[in-house]
Amino acid sequence: MALIVQKYGGTSVGSVERIQAVAGKVKMARDRGEDVVVVVSAMSGETNRLVDLAHQIQERPIPRELDVLLSTGEQVTIALLSMALEKIGCPARSYTGGQVHILTDSAHNKARIRDIDAARVQADLDAGRVVVVAGFQGVDEAGNITTLGRGGSDTTAVAMAAALKAAECQIFTDVDGVYTTDPRVEPRARRLDRITFEEMLEMASLGSKVLQIRAVEFAGKYNVPLRVLSSFEAGEGTLITFEEDGMEQAKISGIAFSRDEAKLTILGVPDEPGVAYKILGPISEANIEVDMIVQNIAQDSTTDFTFTVHRNDFPRAMEVLENTARELGAREVLGDDVIVKISLVGVGMRSHAGIASKMFETLAKEGINIRMISTSEIKISVVVDEKYLELGVRALHEAFELHGEDNA
Ligand code: ADP
Ligand code: ASP
Ligand code: MG
């Protein structure tokens, strides 16, 4: 019998009625003769609610305790879904991450899955039961509860699919596939029938939250067929594929964006060996990840240096940089956390010239000032002021002809 893993996100299990609807969909798959493992998220809004409770007590909640707290969200949904399945005559059993030995490292709040003991799940499947697994959570070697980072249920689903050698991992969500850009920002965005792993990885890492980046990495590494589809309407969704010969190569496949950005600039630092290290060393020691980095050409014997970090890390990064500035005798530190990053992604970029200039021209026509630029083989990113996000995304969507024919 074919085995499939289905994952339902927060909105898809956001109420008792929706959980019952999910049970109906799972039963349909069973009735088609498939073995089903279901991975579920917490009910929509629940993880945010829990994070907020923790912040009411501690500005920076203890990571271990935060994981104990956050993992409860998913535990609620697995139990309710199993009840809903049993009620419609579909034998089911729910398990927390720890109970099915989703072993992770000990990096609380962003743990990585190391291993899954599939035997227990397989035994239930063999006994004709649907297995319902809590997404987003695991345990470390010492038995501490861990969580996998926001959006981590996607990764649980892919890891389960890899461990069980499932025929397909289906990510059911509130959109019917991966679009050329977030349809909430550009309603004329077009659903893609297929997208390559490479492009999906870029889109996810550049801010498209439709799939957690680790889920895409994992699926690529273990060859898990991955599909994104709607839990509300029928359809084929989007298949994430390896690049195939003859696959039509659009220049640009999609536009990703991220609002989680902030930039910091240190002005007038001595232009000498080791200065980048002196600036970024303390930032990395403070466990802050740096994304884009730009160093200006030195004019006198000093130079300016700008980098971006996640917006949550902005206040701490400013503190660290101000310290460094004093030590280096820098002229000034500037910060801006109302910026966003917009990126064009496409494997077709490799073989097409002029994409960057068309992007810059499009933004210029809209009067949008570009603050930073960074490129790689299959993407171009720009940093712009937050107020230009929607305008920028829509203008680029139009300029690169990403609209669907029927909804153009
Ligand atoms: P879930 O709770 O099911 O995991 P998410 O909110 O994590 O759902 O992901 C689905 C959302 O991702 C969509 O509602 C959409 O707004 C957003 N999204 C961002 N970029 C894209 C894209 N390129 N294609 C489709 N959806 C996208
Ligand atoms: N409930 C977690 C979150 O909101 C995990 C997930 O939904 O994938 O991030
Ligand atoms: Mg998600």
Per residue in 254-293, pLDDT (tens digit) is 999 999 999 999 999 988 899 999 999 999 999 899 999 9
Kindly state if the Cβ of 254 falls inside 6 Å of ligand 2.
Answer: no
Ligand 1 lining (C-beta closer than 6 Å): 9-12, 41, 151, 173-175, 178-179, 181-182, 184, 208-210, 254
Closest ligand, as measured to the CA of 254? 1
| Contacts with 397 (C-beta within 8 Å, 6 or more apart), sequence order | 180, 181, 186, 188, 189, 255, 403
Ligand 1 mean position, distance from CA 174 (Å)? 7
Closest ligand, as measured to the CA of 228? 1
DSSP assignment of 101-154 = TEEE-S-TTS--EEEE-THHHHHHHHTT-EEEEETTEEE-TT--EEE--TTTHH
For residue 247, report the phi and psi dihedrals to the nearest 5 degrees.
-70, 130
Ligand 1, atom 11, lies closest to the CA of 210
| Residue range 1-22, pLDDT digits in tens | 799 999 999 999 999 999 999 9
| Residue range 180-236, pLDDT digits in tens | 999 999 999 999 999 999 999 999 999 999 999 999 999 999 999 999 999 999 999
Please give the angle made by the CA atoms of 177, 207 and 217, to the nearest 5 degrees.
70
Ligand 2, atom 9, lies closest to the CA of 150
| Residue range 42-73, pLDDT digits in tens | 999 999 999 999 999 998 899 999 999 999 99
In sequence order, which ranges of 267-381 are alpha helices (DSSP H)? 275-285, 314-328, 355-365
Ligand 2 mean position, distance from CA 278 (Å)? 37
Read off the pLDDT band of 408 (50, 70, 90): very low
Residue from 335, 157, 287 nearest 229 by CA = 157
What class does CATH assign to 255-401? alpha beta
The whole-angstrom separation of Cα 67 and Cα 148 is 9
| Residue range 134-166, pLDDT digits in tens | 999 999 999 999 999 999 999 999 999 999 999
Average pLDDT, the chain: 94
The strand order across the sheet containing 226-230 reads 92-95, 130-134, 35-40, 3-8, 168-173, 226-230, 238-241, 194-196
**Helix, strand, coil distribution of the chain in percent, nearest 5:** 40, 25, 35
Identity of the amino acid at 403: H
Ligand 1 mean position, distance from CA 184 (Å)? 9
Which superfamily does CATH assign the domain made up of 3-247 to?
Acetylglutamate kinase-like (3.40.1160.10)
- At which residue do the structure tokens 């097409």 appear? 352
Dmax over Cα atoms in the chain, in whole Å?
Answer: 78
The whole-angstrom separation of Cα 134 and Cα 7 is 10
| Residue range 305-319, pLDDT digits in tens | 999 999 999 999 999
CA distances from 384 to 174, 311, 325, 340, 392 (A): 28, 14, 25, 6, 9
Measured in residues, the chain has a length of 408
CA 327 to chain centre: 37
Q: Which of 70, 136, 146 to mutate to test the pocket of ligand 2 (most atoms within 8 A of CB)?
A: 136
Kindly state if the Cβ of 97 falls inside 6 Å of ligand 2.
Answer: no
pTM metric for this prediction: 0.93
- Domain boundary assignment for the chain: 3-247, 255-401
CB 159 within 8 A of CB 115: no
Q: Is the pLDDT of residue 249 over 70?
A: no
pLDDT score recorded for residue 350? 84
Ligand 1 mean position, distance from CA 69 (Å)? 24
The whole-angstrom separation of Cα 400 and Cα 54 is 44
Closest ligand, as measured to the CA of 152? 2
Ligand 1, atom 17, lies closest to the CA of 210
Ligand 2, atom 8, lies closest to the CA of 151
Ligand 2 mean position, distance from CA 48 (Å)? 9
The whole-angstrom separation of Cα 66 and Cα 72 is 10
User: Which atom from ligand 1 is nearest to the alpha carbon of 8?
Assistant: 3
Residue from 156, 161, 125 nearest 139 by CA = 156
Q: Which of 171, 209, 340, 390 to mutate to test the pocket of ligand 1 (most atoms within 8 A of CB)?
A: 209
